[in-house]
């Protein structure tokens, strides 16, 4: 059991809803998701009862929105000096890291859950495969967790939230487009095929595309779980080194 994870989770989650920023984020997420789904993705004009236009834009939304959620997790603690107080409490560093991450993930899950009217709309208008839709939601939440773990770790490296946000956006973008032709062409010009395949395997887009189509491959689930675990471990190491320093 990770000491401190529970209290930190409750503290952080309550902190999100204690300010108007959380509600602005949720409203912004819902508005952007709706605009992209109905106006850019042409959900009605397609004449198909599925949510592919809805899920297709999630990676691109998360590139900006997940760094915005995670940027304050550690940068604000460093800026205000409360990180020293937090780490002097009888809690494990790993527990604090996991508690903060789970709070951000739960907040994101709440925002994602509020998109359920889109799912209802498709069921009213047609007869979608709800198993595929559910798989899309699960995949979207896993992907969001991956982005959050990366951004949380990067937030622990700085006391400036703007820097944490910008670096987080860049990192998320790199993981998103890792499997795109332009990236693979650039790498294949000098790297062996094994490295090219390794770079392609880190693409969030290709991993999520399979899940979005209703195929929850164990390898994709393990990829996101392993990615989250790695970045949370790196986050704990960074915080522990700062504590020791």
Which tokens hold the place of 188?
């294949």
Q: What whole-number distance in Å separates Cα of residue 208 and Cα of residue 33? A: 17
Give the pLDDT of residue 244.
Answer: 53
Residue 167 pLDDT class (50, 70, 90 cuts)? very high
Tell me what pLDDT residue 63 has.
94
Residue written as tokens 């704990």?
A: 236
- For residue 77, give Cα distances in angstroms to 90, 146, 161, 185: 17, 22, 10, 41
Provide φ and ψ at 156, rounded to 5°. -75, -10
Q: Tens digits of per-residue pLDDT, 136-147?
A: 999 999 999 999
The mean pLDDT value of the chain amounts to 86
Tell me which of 6-20, 77-91, 106-120, 165-179 is least confident: 77-91
CA distances from residue 37 to 46, 58, 61, 65 in whole angstroms, order as listed: 11, 10, 12, 17
At 143 the pLDDT is 94
At 245 the pLDDT is 53
Q: What is the DSSP string of 1-36?
A: --TTHHHHHHHHHHHHHTSHHHHHHHHHHHHHHHHI
Between CA 4 and CA 7, with CA 5 as vertex, the angle to 5 degrees is 70
Q: In whole angstroms, give the CA distance from residue 133 to residue 140.
A: 10
Structure tokens at 85: 């107080």
Q: How confident is the model at residue 111 (pLDDT cuts 50, 70, 90)?
A: very high
Q: Which distant-in-sequence residues (6+ apart) come within 8 Å of 128 by Cβ?
A: 49, 50, 51, 122
Q: What is the per-residue pLDDT for 206? A: 85
- Residue 106: which domain range? 5-244
Tokens at 75, concatenated:
């940068």
Mean pLDDT of 14-42: 88
Residue 129: left (phi > 0), alpha (psi -120 to 50), or beta? beta
Q: Is the pLDDT of residue 196 over 80?
A: no
Cβ(218)–Cβ(136) below 8 Å: no
Looking at the structure of the chain, the number of domains it has is 1
Q: Is the pLDDT assigned to residue 20 strictly greater than 90?
A: no
In the structure encoding, which two tokens stand for residue 158, read together? 């700085």
| pTM (2 d.p.) | 0.91
């Amino acid at each position: 059991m990770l000491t401190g994870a529970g209290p930190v989770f409750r503290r952080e989650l309550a902190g999100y809803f204690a300010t108007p920023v959380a509600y602005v984020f949720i409203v912004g997420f819902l508005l952007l998701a709706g605009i992209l789904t109905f106006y850019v993705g042409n959900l009605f004009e397609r004449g198909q009862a599925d949510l592919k236009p809805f899920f297709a834009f999630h990676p691109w939304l998360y590139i900006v929105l997940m760094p915005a959620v995670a940027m304050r997790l550690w940068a604000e603690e460093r800026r205000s000096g409360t990180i020293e107080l937090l780490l002097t409490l009888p809690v494990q560093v790993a527990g604090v890291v996991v508690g903060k991450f789970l709070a951000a993930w739960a907040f994101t899950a709440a925002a994602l859950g509020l998109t359920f009217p889109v799912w209802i709309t498709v069921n009213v208008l047609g007869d979608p495969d709800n198993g595929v839709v559910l798989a899309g939601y699960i995949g979207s939440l896993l992907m969001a967790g991956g982005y959050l773990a990366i951004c949380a770790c990067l937030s622990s490296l700085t006391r400036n939230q703007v820097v944490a946000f910008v670096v987080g956006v860049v990192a998320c973008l790199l993981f998103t487009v890792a499997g795109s032709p332009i990236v693979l062409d650039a790498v294949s010009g000098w790297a062996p095929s094994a490295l090219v395949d390794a770079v392609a395997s880190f693409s969030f887009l290709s991993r999520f595309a399979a899940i979005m189509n209703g195929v929850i491959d164990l390898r994709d689930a393990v990829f996101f779980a392993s990615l989250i675990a790695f970045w949370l471990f790196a986050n704990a190491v960074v915080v522990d080194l700062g504590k020791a320093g």
